[in-house]
Structure 1
Amino acid sequence: MKTLYLDTFSGISGDMFLGLLCDLGLDVEQLKAELAKLPVSDYQVNIKRERRHGIEGCRFSVNHQEDHHHRSWSHIDQMLAESHLSERSKELARRFFRRLGEAEAKVHGISIDEVHFHEVGAVDAIVDLTGAAIGIDLLGINKVFCSPLPLSRGIGQCAHGALPLPAPATVEILQGRPVYDSGCDKELVTPTGATLVRELAEFTPLPDRAVGRVGYGVGGWELADRPNLLRGILYAQEHQPTTSDAVELLESHIDDSTPEQLGDLLERLFEAGALDAAYVPLQMKKNRPGQLLKVVCQPAHSQTLATLIMHHSSAIGVRSQPCHRYRLQRHEVTIATTLGTAGVKLLFDHDQFLRLSAEYDDCRRLARQHNLPLQQVYRLVENSAYDQLPQLLKETNHD
């Protein structure tokens, strides 16, 4: 397993990300061969060494004839689905374009099926996003971490005319993710760059381990206040019993909320991005029984969740503390059974498969649909999953 850390001090775009992957060792000819599997022509990939503020990296760009054809999201998705790309590359690329399509649909107030891309449907954007999926697959990158993103201010130009920076689609894609004001009037984080980070990365501090291979993807701007580079650190496989990441723990003592209010609060917390939340019985001052609420979340979500706790319970304060969690890796898959489809979680210690677990909601649905005991459905789903395990491991690159 390889882990990539993105140091986005000057933002991220699709071409910067591909330039970074090339600088980290992505085989350019192999990348071109994979891209040739798409029914897209009349373009040329250019990769060269350039410097920004004296730091050298790889500049990735696409030259193509002017394209006035506005491709719809459904056309792009079908093109990718029917391509001969690897399953992982295909799945990632389709995720990228769906995320971008949903953002464009939200911004313009239409359904995703009505979205007709301009920049996104252009040849260079198709190459950037599909190339990123191919590069992740070819380099064997299984995990991506990212620093907070620097957003720009001002007005930018696009096919729709003048738009505020950051672009509306970029803001939509990055909801709930950590950002800060860069003070720059050039577009540092593009919609394609935001899409890549949203679909691939977790936002964390720099990993506490030996620095691996370092690469730089070069952007198109010449900026006075910073080098227009995307720095990445590629860490080779390092066996640890579990994966560790930074989280925040929120706690509050609650003694005068009803059970209905407490149940509703848990649902709201999970909907707002809590990783875990639970109540612990508590004996409080004046001999009052109460509840200790404990919430685990990503640091970027802590303020939102703390505010939600105080708005939707009797709590008048919330404690927070940074901490780390150790966890197994998991892959969620859907399998076919004699009762119908059901979700299953596959649990791994890096590349070592440990066990699997059937999804409760799906098992409950099947149990009620077929009037069977829930325990019996659990056994049937998990037995079916074990029967299909060799294929499932292959599909998740753990064969």
Structure 2
Amino acid sequence: LVSAFHDLLTSLGKDGNKLVDVIRAIKQAVKTVKRIDVSFSRVDKSGFPATCMKLDIDEDIGHDQTDVRSIDRNLLACMDAAGLVNQKAREFADSALDIIVDAESRAHGIEDGHEHHDMHGDHEHPHVHLHELASADTLVDILCVARALDLIGAFDDGGGMDVYSSPVSTGRGSIKTAHGILPVPAPGTLEILRTRGIPHRDGPVDDAELATPTGCAILAALKPNFGGMQVAGKVIAVGIGAGTKTFPAVPNILRLELVDISQGGSESAAQAIARYVARSPLQASTDQVAQLTLAIDDMTPEDVGSLIEKSYAQGALEAYAIPAQMKKHRPGIEVIVLCPPSGVPGLLSTWMEESTTLGCRVEIIDRVTIERHVQAFHVTLAANGRSFAGKVMAKFIEWRADAGKAQRGSRSSFKIEHDDVKRVAESLGTSIHAARQLIDHEIRGRSRSIAGMQHGSE
């Protein structure tokens, strides 16, 4: 991967040796590294010219340097030594390390061994030791990619970069590791593929590891779209990196393409939605629903309300009425019902046969939703000489595991159910606002979904 980015920088007319400077900075910043020799050269892989990095590291890693906190401090020290000052680039590197540490912790049976942290090395579990990650080659991969992305403007303010990737080819068979013979993909790699939803396939070579934990962590931190690049664009640079191994039937290369979509025409709404979902820090998803729209001006509000209730009973996702101006300046209402496409026949039957409408528009529309869950809390509260003890419900939105702290703080992350707030207010003889604040204060900190967030009750 680093070789491919070096080649990409060179093809853009940029100084690929900036990556060598990063590697030399790692040597200076990490005390366990005695020597790092690095070189990039042009090679031929099965007839394809490519760039190959030769990296030789001599390091002496003691057990006291393998805890998560030490690994984080090494990353921060290396970013400072390498002059990586762009905050977004630093957050990318930090996210990649978060992903790989979390995966390796799980692979070693340490659930929640690596909580998200704030780039100051402060972890909930600093005692966790991960010997593989303490090696400097992990820092080389992460920081060289972060520097390369910074050099091509991926983190510039007002810019932005969308990443598209084919499914990951992992290789197959088994490999020798410090833990003995392991199947491909290795446990850490498999955890990243599983938890980050990265599509993959085995092969196309036997007894070889084509996807490493570090490589997959970097890919996950890029938040790629695996659905193919649907928007047109102009290729402005190509980078081809070669691995050190040579396989008889498959060229051992990785290709990067830098594409300018501003020169390829406009994208469709569906493409724009897919881009948002791929890059969103929220656990967002997209689907299609049917929208039924009808206008009524000669039906009582009570009857309309009854049909809306019946629509929900029939599986409607949303159903509501809004004021509308009808013909001859008559006030009326517009009814909108959202449902799965399969629910259209039953809901059409209800509204066409039981309301006074003479027609209904049916459309299939795209929808973006945020994953959420409901959590119950038992709270004990007191105010005005009264007390309340009971259960309240709160609805939480879901964030992607690699969402940064600043992103998570950009909006409310939970909402206390209003009926519960009202019940508490009545019991305590206080206002809705005061009751909400009491509940919020009581449950904050009792759920990791809330930790570190701004006030989210609404």
TM-score category by the smaller chain? Answer: 0.5 to 0.7
**Are 1:17 and 1:193, in contact at CA under 8 Å, matched by a contact in 2?**
no
Q: CA deviation at 1:149?
A: 1.3
Contact 1:104 1:115 in 2 (8 A): no
How has the CA–CA distance of structure 1 residues 210 and 28 changed in structure 2, closer, same or farther, with 3 Å as cutoff?
closer
- Hey, what does 1:60 align to over in structure 2? 53
Pairing partner for 2:67 from 58, 68, 72 = 72
What corresponds to 1:219 in structure 2? 243
| Structure 2 Cα separation of the partners of residues 332 and 124 of structure 1 | 24
Q: Percent identity?
A: 25
- Larger Rg computed on CA atoms: 2
Quickly say closer, same or farther: Cα 1:231–1:67, change in 2 above 3 A: same
Instruction: Look up the match of 1:178.
Output: 199
Aligned-partner Cα distance in 1 for 2:246–2:137: 21
How far the C-alpha of 1:171 sits from its partner, in A, is 1.4
> Which of the numbers 84, 106, 129 marks the counterpart of 1:116?
129
> After superposition, what is the alpha-carbon deviation per residue over 1:201-230, rounded to whole angstroms, capped at 9, x for unaligned?
222324532333122011122112211110
198-207 or 45-54: bigger deviation: 198-207
* Partner SS for 2:209: coil
Q: How does 1:1-399 map to 2 (within 5 A)?
A: 14-25=1-12, 26-38=14-26, 39-40=29-30, 41=33, 42-69=35-62, 71-82=66-77, 83-84=79-80, 85-86=84-85, 87-110=87-110, 111-112=113-114, 113-141=126-154, 142-143=160-161, 144-175=163-194, 176-185=197-206, 186-200=208-222, 201-206=224-229, 207-236=231-260, 238=262, 244=271, 247=274, 249-250=287-288, 280-281=338-339, 284-285=345-346, 287-288=349-350, 334=406, 343-344=409-410, 359-361=411-413, 371=434
CA shift in 2, pair 1:33/1:209, >3 Å: same
Deviation at 1:52, TM superposition (A): 0.5
> Offset of 1:159 from its aligned partner?
1.7
* TM superposition score normalised by structure 2: 0.54
**3-state secondary structure, aligned to 1:120:** helix
Contact 1:148–1:178 (CA<8 Å) still a contact in 2?
yes
Paired AA for residue 107 in structure 2: V
Deviation by residue 1:12-48 (Cα, 9 ceiling, x = unmatched)? xx44554454454452332333444441342122111
TM-fit CA distance, 1:245: 5.3
Q: Which one-letter code corresponds to 1:74 in the other structure?
A: R
Q: Is the 8 A contact 2:170 2:200 kept in 1?
A: yes
Q: State the Cα RMSD in Å.
A: 4.3
Are residues 279 and 122 of structure 1, via their aligned partners in 2, closer, same or farther at CA, if it must alter by over 3 Å?
farther
The answer as to whether partners of 2:245 and 2:252 remain within 8 angstroms in 1 is yes
Write out per-residue CA displacement over residues 113-168 of structure 1, whole angstroms, 9 at most, x where no aligned residue: 44433333212221111111111112213422211111222111122211110111
Question: What is the deviation of 1:252?
Answer: 8.3
Look up the equivalent residue of 1:159 and give its one-letter code. Answer: A
Compared CA separation, residues 53 and 23, structure 1 to 2 (3 A): farther
Q: Which moved more, 1:203-212 or 1:280-289?
A: 280-289
**AA at the equivalent of 1:178:** P
Query: Which residue matches 2:450?
Result: none
Partners of 1:343 and 1:369 in 2: CA distance: 24
Contact 1:15 1:219 in 2 (8 A): no
Query: How many angstroms apart in 2 are the aligned matches of 1:297 and 1:223?
Result: 44
Aligned residues: 294
- SS of 2:219's partner is helix
Tell whether the 8 Å contact from 2:232 to 2:261 is kept in structure 1 after alignment: no
* TM-score, L = length of structure 1: 0.61
**AA of the residue aligned to 1:27:** D
> Offset at 1:256?
9.6
Matching residue's letter, 1:361: S
Q: Which runs of 5+ in 1 are unaligned?
A: 1-13, 264-277, 299-304, 306-330, 336-341, 345-358, 375-399
